[in-house]
Amino acid sequence: MSSTAAPLPDISGPDPDQANANGYQSLDWLCTLIAVLDEYGMVRFVNAALENALGQSRRIMVGSDFATCFAEPALLDKALSGARSNDFAALRFEASLLRLGQEPLPIHAAVSLAEKAGHVMVEMWPLEQQARQDREERIREQALANKELIRNLAHEIKNPLGGIRGAAQLLQMDLVTPELLEYTTVIIHEADRLQALVDRLLAPHRHPHEVGDVNIHEVCERVRSLVLVEHPQGLKITRDYDISIPEFRGDSAQLIQALLNIVQNAAQALGRRIAEGDAEIILRTRVARQVTLGRERYRLALELHVIDNGSGVPDAIKERIFYPLVSGRDGGSGLGLTLAQTFVQRHHGLIECESQPGRTDFRILIPLP
């Protein structure tokens, strides 16, 4: 006689993250930063926009004290105290959110009671969001203006430059005095140098856009290996990859060149630290949700950071580092970052830079399918 064992009861209980998210998943579609707290200020849910803003995952934040995310925790504590005693329908205040490795994020916050009993909803609007969108639009408009200016300038330079070089060559054929031949040689060499500069200015706009499947981590590894060949000692390039990022359609050669220019720029800025042996560049990939680029909203975007521990970008050129012929070091051409921005913009993306002494972060954003 056979008997069938009764199934063991499930004593594991429900997933707390799933249980706390019930009823709030729709908030992930909003670009407003939202946190749902219990009456004691412990996090019960955060939406995707807040995850992106703070650089922390929902799983880590759920169950933590949300006041620790504020530069002045007392502001939130006061609002929660009023919510518990039903002193107001909604309380608004301005504050700053602390972000890992970044400057605090100024916000306008509104605290109100959630529909579920015992829960409080904190809605936050970054004060810098509009300024950031305006800055992105300004960068795009400036890139288009630079492109037109460079084309016109190159046309105006190349024609007379060819005439000067040709005249110097003809003159060189008729001269016999060595001293005078030296002058014509200098003219020809300088004309060639200016011609090469003009060609480099026009190079980004001549490069064909060849689209294929791009794995961003293959791009990062290629760049990492190239830079480490140049700097085998004293420079550490740390990988911090999100391997779940999908492939996307793009030009891998252009993206390799764009990233290489940024990483080489960082390595050159780390010259003193490389000599001391403590230079570090971090390549970090993440998926950003609900991103606005060029006034278009994208559900997902690639977020690629190039972070170095150098002295930072000089304040005098911080707003102009993507302009042609602007360089922060002696002997620099000022074209590397211009080329990088052009190639990223061809992928409907954008490069941003946040810099302070000891930490410079170039952030590349590219829409994902």
367: left (phi over 0), alpha (psi -120 to 50) or beta: beta
Beta bridge partners of 36: 45, 121
Question: Per-residue pLDDT for the chain (369 aa), expressed as one digit of tens each?
Answer: 444 444 444 433 334 444 445 578 888 888 889 999 988 889 999 998 899 888 888 888 999 999 999 988 888 888 888 777 776 667 888 888 988 777 788 888 888 888 888 889 999 988 766 666 666 677 777 767 776 777 777 777 777 888 888 888 888 888 777 777 888 888 888 888 777 777 766 666 566 667 889 999 999 999 999 999 888 888 999 999 998 899 999 999 889 989 999 999 899 888 888 988 889 999 999 998 878 777 777 888 999 999 999 888 887 777 777 777 776 666 555 677 888 888 888 898 988 888 888 889 999 999 998
Pairing of strands 279-293, 235-240: parallel
Distance CA 54, CA 66 (A): 12
Q: Amino acid identity of 248?
A: F
Residue 229: count of CB within 10 angstroms of its CB: 8
Selection from 85, 102, 103, 99 nearest residue 50 by Cα: 99
Alpha helix (H) residue ranges in the chain? 16-21, 48-54, 58-61, 73-84, 129-174, 178-206, 216-230, 252-269, 271-276, 336-345
- The confidence score (pLDDT) of residue 8 equals 41
Count Cβ neighbours within 10 Å for each residue of 190-224 and write b for 16 or more, e otherwise: ebeeebeebeebbebeebeeeeeebebbebbeebb
Q: Note whether 364 and 302 are within 8 A (CB).
A: yes
Q: Cα–Cα distance between 312 and 265 in angstroms, integer? A: 11
Q: State how far the Cα of 125 lies from the Cα of 49, in Å rounded to an integer.
A: 10
Q: What is the dihedral of CA 218, 222, 223, 224, to 10 degrees?
A: 100
Q: CA-CA distance, 237 to 307, in Å (whole number)? A: 10
Helices marked H in 270-313 — which ranges? 271-276
Torsion sign across C-alpha atoms 27, 32, 37, 43: positive
DSSP 29-74: G-SSEEEEEETTSBEEEE-HHHHHHHT--HHHHTTSBGGGGBSSHH
State the virtual CA torsion across 336, 342, 343, 346 in degrees, nearest 10: 180
Q: 91: which DSSP letter?
A: E
The H-or-E segment that residue 364 falls in is: strand 359-367
Residues in a beta bridge with 122:
35, 111
Count the Cβ atoms, other than its own, within 10 Å of residue 105: 20
- Bridge partners (DSSP) of residue 151 are none
